Amino acid sequence: MSKSLIIVESPAKARTIANYLKDDYVIKASVGHVKDLPESRLGVDIENGFMPQYQVIKGKIKVLKEIKKAAEKVDSIYLATDPDREGEAIAWHIAEELKRPPKKIHRVLFNEITARSVREAILKPERLDKDKYEAQQARRILDRLVGYLISPLLWDKVRRGLSAGRVQSVAVRLLCEREKEIQSFVPQEYWTIQALLEGNFPPSFKATLARIDSKKAEIKKEEEAQAILQDLSLCSFSVKEIERKERRKNPPPPYITSQLQQEAWRKLRFTAKKTMSLAQRLYEGVELGQEGPVGLITYMRTDSVRISPEAVQDVRQFIVEKFGPDYLPEKPNFYKSRKTAQEAHEAIRPASVTRNPETLRPFLNKDQLALYDLIWNRFVACQMNPAVYDQTSVDIQAGKYLFRASGSILLFPGFMTLYIETADENSEREDQEEGKLPDLSIGEGLKPLNIIPEQHFTQPPPRYTEATLIKELEEKGIGRPSTYATILDNIQEREYVAKEKGRLYPTELGCLVSDLLVENFPVILDVQFTAQMEDELDKVEEGQLPWVQALEDFYEPFQKDLEKAKVEMQDIKGKGVPTELRCEKCGAPMVIKLGRHGQFLACSNYPQCKNTKEFQRNGAGGIEIVQEEPVQETCEKCGASMATKAGRFGKFLACSNYPKCKNTKKMLINGEGKLEVAQDEISSEVCEKCGASMVIKTGRFGKFLACSNYPTCKNTKKIAPSGKGAEAAPSTLTGENCEQCGSPLVYRQGRFGQFIACSSYPKCRYTKKLTSAHREGRETPEEQKEKPSIKKEKAAEKKTREN
């Protein structure tokens, strides 16, 4: 029993640590949480101090059994899960299951998974942190109470399958409020005036009208702009004042979680979820040839900008060697974290500054390298000297009008040699566009070459991107570093929020649910209350507040709202939301109902009247019926007219005699950008089952052949590409027979790749997976000859990388 057991969450982390410790330790991975609240019930005893009823997660029984078996053979157990609340909860639950004396179980924390940090942590183990565990437990119970008590209410009142989340619902509320601001926004006209001027020396330059009679220039109408132009035509222009100063731009601090997610979106268009997944891999370890798996960055869930003294010393030495002494400040740059930051953690930085992105290029994929490049550049830049600009501002007098021109020149790039924040890139371009001003002197006369008025309109607030929403949540104190990616993922997965051209917007379903929750649960959907709960969870972690007290502070107002909502929440599922619109068929009021593909207008006189309409919100947030586009198509099955409808996959034609006739036709956009009926293309193939001609159709997975006698005959075939158009893909025989009916087996192509199926389908639905023998059997002799040479090339390439 000389060895010790180390338990981590992920197999990748286990491999990296094993690479450092070799055979001295047994290392096991829990693969995430091993215990949680039950799925089928609330699992919280509210009457008995909110006591949670944890149980082993289904699928983790085998994992726990292996860990327990390994624990029986060792003297010491080291719980090395992540250094945050979730990691502490995993460690706590494993310790509970092992039931070993406290002196036999140690807690070790890795801020970075390097050989030095792993060995140091094991030599200086800590105890399990009860306060941190209880903070995680309180958050888990809070989220369970909201999810399991509000969601059934939404099922009864709106639609089955909906769910609510304590923090996610607040995020959706922010998006809905922004969307309402956009819809209600009324653009305001305004004008600007620029003068192109020339002094005694080139170049010419532009100046913008800034003040009129010592007041800020505000031009609202074209008439005002034209009157000013008339005045300026009689004025002489001269330099009134020149101000020259040196401007310093300081480097940004190293990344914290939220800033990394924001910058990864701005620069790389990575979602928060993708960013965290890539960062997790870089933290846990990546294979570096003969070195084996190595952790490349520090822990990626942090709100602290603290840097260890050793890392500061290493990067300062690197800056001198790589960029020269001019780029190194006399003293290390110091950055202050937020008040709520956990200073026990470091900022996100490379584990070793000497591993620059270029040296890792052979070992990282494109996305991993791009993210590592961001982290490495930002960290090195944060300890470099500021950028220095020579900035000039000139005031120009023309009668009662004051124009202003400015320009700047980059004298010393400093940290900008290596890194420029995306938010600042635009401003730098603006500086360059302003350009260098000519040599001017006070009192110098200027010649107006052109005076240009320009009309503008105020713009509505923009929709949130993932970056700006994370920033908003962070500024309002909603959520914490470990939750932002989950929040964004959940609200999109639940179809409360969608994304268009990188910008988030609430769906009709999202706004409907959000409005109902805000109306019936004003306290827990309040932004300040949610932020206050985050502060209380922080206090639990710091040992300043009992976790039960935090839950009681939440549950008391929540319970009152819940009981009230059960009675007063509007029942949309049965009755719908009333509107002022009237049904054109029977005159009854139209109501908003929630269907499979979103909201729609329906007659309140249903089922006597089954009239439905699509609707959209106008600029003021009101409801407008979407007019059905007139078409001249007639249903070939019943003779009724066809109408344009919108479905999950776009617009289509449907018989107006629905539901008696359910005939539909697909529509597509033609070369002129107009919608037209998609015509089935007749192929040369004949259906072998009924003798009718086959037509080419487009389905979810592309084009295919279908019998024109559908739905009487439902025969279909795959299409293979051909130089002369589409033709039926031959069903290649495998040389085997079906085990169930004896018919020949053929190769088929499905959603997840090739498989083997019975040729008598659909009478016989027998299928089986392809084996390596099948794949080799399908290769041509040329392909089989090529395989050994490909293997040799890959082996040679690997050997070159290792050398």
Tokens 């932002």: give the residue: 484
In the chain, % helix, strand, coil (3-state, to 5) comes to: 35, 25, 40
Task: Choose among 75, 91, 79: nearest CA to 122.
Answer: 79
**3-state SS assignment for residue 721:** coil
Phi, psi (rounded to 5 degrees) for 684: -80, -5
Active-site residue (options: 78, 299, 372, 464):
299
Active site residue 464: no
Look up residue 645 and give its two tokens: 């409808």
Task: Choose among 633, 635, 634, 637: nearest CA to 712.
Answer: 637
Q: Identify the bridge partners of residue 592 per DSSP, sorted by sequence position.
A: 577, 601
Query: Cα 614 to the chain's mean position, in Å?
Result: 30
Phi, psi (rounded to 5 degrees) for 754: -75, 150
- List all residues 6 or more positions away from 392 whose beta carbon is below 8 Å from its beta carbon: 242, 243, 244, 406, 407, 408, 437
Which strand (E) or helix (H) includes residue 471? helix 466-475
- Would you say 56 and 34 are in contact if contact means Cβ atoms under 8 Å apart? yes
DSSP characters over 129-188: -HHHHHHHHHHHHHHHHHHHHHHHHHHHHT-TT----TTHHHHHHHHHHHHHHHHH----
Task: Choose among 441, 450, 453, 456: nearest CA to 206.
Answer: 450
Distances (CA, A) of 487 to 331, 500, 560: 40, 18, 26
Separation of alpha carbons 762 and 643, rounded Å: 34
What is the gyration radius of the CA atoms in the chain, in angstroms?
34
**3-state SS assignment for residue 759:** coil
The residues that are catalytic are 299
